Amino acid sequence: MEDRIIKTEYSEVMQKSFIDYAMSVIVARALPDVRDGLKPVQRRTLYDMHELGIRYDRPYRKSARIVGDTMGKYHPHGDSSIYDALVVMAQDFKKGQPLIDGHGNFGNIEGDGAAAMRYTEARLQKLTQEAFLADLDKNVVDFVPNFDETEKEPSVLPAKIPNLLVNGSEGIAVGMATSIPPHNLGEVIDAAKAYMLDENITNRELMRFISGPDFPTGGIVINKDELLSIYETGTGKIRLRGKVETEKVKGGKTNVVITEIPYTMIGANIGKFLSDVAALAETKKTNDIVDISNQSSKEGIRIVIELKKDADVDHFINMLYKKTRLEDTFGVNMLAISDGRPETLSLKQIIQANIEFQFEFNRRKYETLLEKEKAKKEIQEGLIKACNVIDLIIEILRGSRDRNQAKNCLVEGITDGIHFKSRESEVMAGYLRFTENQANAILDMRLYKLIGLEIEALISEHEDTLANIFRYEDILERRSSMAQVIMNELDAFKKQYARKRRTVIDNCEEAVFEEKKVEEMDIYCLVDRFGYARTIDVPTYERNQEAANAENRFVFLCKNTGKICLFTNTGQLYTVKVSDLPFGKFRDKSIPLDNVSNLDSSKELLLLAASQSDLNLYRLLFTTRQAMAKIVDGGEFDVSKKTVAATKLADGDELIDVTVFKDQKYMILQSKDGYFLRFTIEEIPEKKKNAVGVRSMKLGEKDELEAVYFTKTGADSAISYKEKEISLNSIRLNKRDTKGTKLRV
């Protein structure tokens, strides 16, 4: 038993295991192969459909059957990943050339998902059958065992087009990701042919054929001059814009109509775009919008924005480019598996890898075909020779005891034991030297083959076989001949499947949009006890001052261009732009603060809301449940981040009070056990916001602070404690960090 225990460093085992896992994800799941442009799950799904006979000219089959068969035979990683891959390969708004013909609800461009696999059906596209699966029976690629070694699957499909460019790819592996845009099939084929004619062609020269990506959603690529660098390095950013048109309508108004969207907007981002446009109107960044409607259908995208009569249309369109995803960036990282390892490839390298792969599998294909034709030639020559001496062969067959005796005579000329009609026939039979294959063919030949027309057909077929052998040998011996075969196939695919380019490639000027400067003014911010906030102007507040103060927890003056600070019991500070809060009439709706900040109102109690500009003028006094206190300069909370730590808390502690320190003189602490401590605020030191503070009151073992009060010099306040009114100034003045006085009530 001890001999089987391997002692090693745990860190080494973890390192090796993680590397093995990472490489498995990179090579066997997330990244496409540069040769066929497919990830393993895509390749296995297509091959399984091919094996099931779900061809383009046969009926659809349930997606659940395809997914289950693929998972059981080739891809043991769960049905959702297989079905998701199948769905994407069927969506014409994601793929330049869909590889699967889907029947049923396969989702739409607006982000609605596909129906469950039990409801949808699928079959292969004709292009897929012809360009990826047609020659698998000709030993063109290696087959490897599946996960349980009960089946064989192709290590790569014999792709006759550079599919990695045509359909692109997206995937996230461990420590790396790929993002390759789709391209136009006709342009990619032209570039592949150009490479075969001149293998020293440059990326710049290839771009005479491939002008840039061709997204199925259309749109406009606006940084044409940067594409060469992207295609040479394999990385970069493509800037996309949607296609915008204008329509004149009744009343002199103008409609802005979006007919094509950036590729990055497909899915839920269309709804996000509509929300962003609506937000432009709600936040008063523009007053030109009358209505927004999404009139998209199966015929295409149509988003209509109705503008006011005197709206500046060009200015509004530029604002859409700047403030919404109508202009977006597609990050390119042309990472793929090349020679068994991940590599970032240039445009030429991708085309080169696919073409060299085509030469390789075509070599294997024509070697297989040549062997078959040579075997046919051998049989045909034997049958033709047999027809010339058919009487002798019939005599051998009639005179033989069994098949083996007749076969030995045909192959080796052994006549022993065979009865011949004449000595001459026996001598002639001794000279017969058919091959073993020819002899078997002769023995299996039917009598109708002796008809004159059948013999002529045999001779004609033999001539065709000789021609095929000559052609196959020429293709295998001369690279130019094989190149011509590949180019002819590419031309056929282009003629049948190529379509016009959808995406426009251009150099467009930067969209110029200057926001109208907001006139700075004082307004009041109202925050109610539920964490809902809104702003109103000063005259509105003054007319409704009593109701505003009674209905809201925090009421304070701020600038409409500033920020407000929100302090919570967890010691966090959240900042919110005042402009993000609704501004209007006194009874207008408020919005939850967690809609415009990271504040979790369901978990964090709001202790203070104040204008950031006010905090810069004052100091803040923090008090915690465990009686820790400190004063912090308000300028420390003038931060750009939306969320920061406002103070440091001990384990199990929480803030119970944050107060703006202006002219308060005394601080009164009330504990849960009924102890009160009054002391001067001057005893609380000023510290940084990341400090814990000092102890302000000695608490009993299970006691904790319950409330904090403040009084000014010459002023008194009263509180209600256990149904009895207590004057705060009547509490004996003491020192900080003492136990205080327990009130008997």
- Residue 119 annotated to the active site: yes
Dist CA 346 CA 689 (whole Å): 52
The H or E element containing residue 541 is helix 538-543
CA angle 596, 598, 604 (to 5 degrees): 115
Dist CA 106 CA 92 (whole Å): 10
Please provide the DSSP assignment of 649-687 as one string: --TT--EEEEEEESS--EEEEEETTSEEEEEEGGGSPB-
449 pairs with which residues across the strands? none
Question: DSSP 3-state helix, strand, coil percentages of the chain (rounded to 5)?
Answer: 40, 25, 35
Dist CA 63 CA 101 (whole Å): 11
623, two tokens: 């008090």
Contact 654, 646 (CB under 8 A): no
285, two tokens: 């960044």
C-alpha 249 chain-centroid distance: 39
The H or E element containing residue 140 is none
33, two tokens: 């192969």
Classify the phi-psi angles of 556: left when phi > 0, otherwise alpha if psi is within -120 to 50, otherwise beta: beta
- Within 8 A by CB and 6+ apart from 531, the residues are 592, 593, 594, 599, 601, 606
Radius of gyration of the chain (CA): 41
CA angle 8, 13, 17 (to 5 degrees): 160
- Within 8 A by CB and 6+ apart from 173, the residues are 22, 25, 26, 29, 30, 31, 342
- Within 8 A by CB and 6+ apart from 344, the residues are 233, 234, 235, 333, 334, 335
Dist CA 509 CA 519 (whole Å): 30
Buried b (16+ CB within 10 A) or exposed e, 122-156: bbbbebbbbbbbbbbebebbeeeebeeeeeebbeb
Taking each helix axis as running N to C, give the angle between helix 452-477 and helix 479-497, from 0 to 180 degrees, rounded to the nearest 10: 100
Dist CA 722 CA 424 (whole Å): 139
C-alpha 529 chain-centroid distance: 42
- Within 8 A by CB and 6+ apart from 272, the residues are 325
Dist CA 325 CA 332 (whole Å): 18
Size of the chain, expressed as the number of residues it contains? 745
Centre a 10 Å sphere on the Cβ of residue 255 and count the other Cβ atoms it contains. 17
Dist CA 6 CA 294 (whole Å): 66
CA dihedral 330, 331, 332, 338 (to 10 degrees): -130
Buried b (16+ CB within 10 A) or exposed e, 646-656: bbbbeeebbbb
Q: Which of 10, 119, 366, 431 is catalytic?
A: 119
Dist CA 337 CA 345 (whole Å): 10
Q: Which residues are catalytic?
A: 119
